[in-house]
């Protein structure tokens, strides 16, 4: 690499005392462009949100023959294809596998963590250009959801966003997994017994192939339908005994669906300088359709958006960051 990667530690006040007991001290992977250590220039910053079951250090995982995202960013800058920038790779792993990068009474204040703790830490310690027009927020899957959600709520912090296959249109991306999750939870004796057994399997042997579906549903319930006093502090959107949808709880989930909230928060999206959305035509979670609906809602409101589709699925699409960064970075002043 021509630039450098550092792993720093951030003590996040927003995460102190969170319900899951997840650590408030978080690793923060930082990419510094070539020449950073030799000058006093200030740089735009791109903040990256990982997907479900990801982590901050996971951005540095080695995949044979394939560069990870910091390496891709470095190669584009070194080749002169992108202007120099700082890359900030945020850790949002929790004891339920992840977060939707929002505030939840069942998980913790992860939106505040990004907007207040991480941005404040980076601006204080690195030579950023500390204004919204020089900040971008990008992510994939749950990270893409976080970029859409935070971007519309905090255009004063991030003026540029990119979502790669961000969760949207919950009827298609979540609903098909409900009967599968209900079956395993019923077999496992309920939410808390299943979860405790899930943790034991991870410690002592390995997880089962159908565990991901269940823990994903539980994590989404923690984000969208928290309820104090319930097992794990969540309400399921379906009856465990029959699989029937619980209309009131499902309605709470839908309030968090980008196809619903984007039109309601359109003034926030009008303030953004750049919006990039994409999804694979073979996305296994059917997110292609939610992405299309979000893009259409933005366009109907006169908001400029770049919307792309590509021939691939949901996994292994880090190469798509080259497309979003190629659009966002030249627009960051």
pLDDT of residue 234: 98
pLDDT of residue 100: 98
- Which pair of tokens denotes residue 285? 């979670």
Paired residues of 234 in beta bridges: 226
| Alpha-carbon gap, residue 108 to 119, rounded angstroms | 18
Start-end of CATH 3.40.50.1820 domains in the chain: 4-169+258-331
pLDDT of residue 42: 97
Q: At what angle do helices 211-224 and 247-254 cross, to 10 degrees?
A: 80
- 269-168-149 Cα angle (round to 5): 35
pLDDT of residue 333: 76
Domain 4-169+258-331 has CATH 3.30.750.24: no
Q: At what angle do helices 191-204 and 178-187 cross, to 10 degrees?
A: 80
Paired residues of 46 in beta bridges: 87, 136
Q: Is residue 113 within 8 Å of residue 27, measured between CB atoms?
A: no
Look up the pTM and report it.
Answer: 0.97
| Alpha-carbon gap, residue 262 to 260, rounded angstroms | 6
Q: What are phi and psi of 103, to 5 degrees?
A: -90, 130
> Hunting for tokens 């991306």 — which residue is that?
173
For 73, 147, 285, 328, the CA distances from 32, given in Å and listed in that order, are 10, 22, 34, 18
Burial 6-41 (b: 16+ CB within 10 A, else e): eeeebebebbeebbeebebebbbbbbbbeebeeeee
Closest-CA residue to 176 (of 112, 120, 243): 243
Cβ-based neighbours of 138, under 8 Å, separated by 6 or more: 46, 47, 48, 49, 144, 147, 161, 162, 163, 164, 276, 321, 324, 325, 328
pLDDT of residue 166: 98
Cβ-based neighbours of 213, under 8 Å, separated by 6 or more: 177, 180, 181, 184
Segments in the chain below pLDDT 50: none
């Amino acid at each position: 690499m021509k630039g450098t990667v550092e792993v720093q530690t951030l003590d996040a006040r927003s995460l102190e005392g969170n319900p899951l007991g997840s650590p408030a001290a978080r690793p923060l992977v930082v990419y510094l462009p070539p020449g950073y250590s030799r000058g006093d220039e200030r740089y735009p910053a791109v903040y990256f949100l990982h997907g479900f079951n990801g982590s901050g250090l996971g951005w540095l995982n080695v995949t044979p023959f394939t560069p990870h995202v910091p390496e891709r960013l470095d190669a584009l800058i070194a080749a002169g294809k992108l202007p120099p920038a700082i890359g900030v790779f945020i850790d949002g792993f929790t004891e339920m596998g992840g977060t939707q990068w929002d505030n939840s009474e069942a998980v913790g204040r992860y939106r505040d963590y990004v907007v207040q703790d991480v941005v404040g830490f980076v601006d204080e310690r690195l030579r950023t250009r500390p204004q919204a027009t020089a900040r971008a927020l990008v992510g994939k899957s749950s990270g893409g959801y976080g970029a859409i959600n935070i971007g519309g709520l905090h255009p004063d912090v991030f003026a540029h966003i990119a979502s790669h296959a961000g969760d949207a249109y919950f009827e298609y991306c979540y609903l098909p997994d409900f009967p599968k999750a209900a079956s395993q939870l019923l077999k496992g004796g309920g939410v808390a017994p299943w979860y405790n057994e899930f943790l034991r399997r991870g410690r002592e042997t390995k997880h089962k192939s159908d565990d991901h579906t269940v823990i994903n549903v539980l994590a989404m319930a923690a984000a969208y339908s928290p309820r104090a006093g319930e097992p794990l502090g969540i309400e399921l959107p379906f009856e465990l005994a029959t699989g029937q949808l619980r209309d009131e709880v499902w309605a709470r989930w839908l309030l968090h669906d980008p196809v619903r909230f984007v039109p309601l928060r359109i003034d926030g999206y009008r303030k953004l300088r750049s919006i990039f959305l994409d999804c694979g035509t073979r996305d296994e979670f059917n997110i292609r359709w939610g992405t299309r609906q979000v893009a259409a809602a933005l366009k109907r409101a006169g908001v400029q958006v770049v919307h792309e589709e590509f021939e691939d699925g949901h996994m292994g699409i880090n190469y798509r960051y080259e497309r979003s960064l190629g659009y966002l970075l030249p627009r960051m002043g």
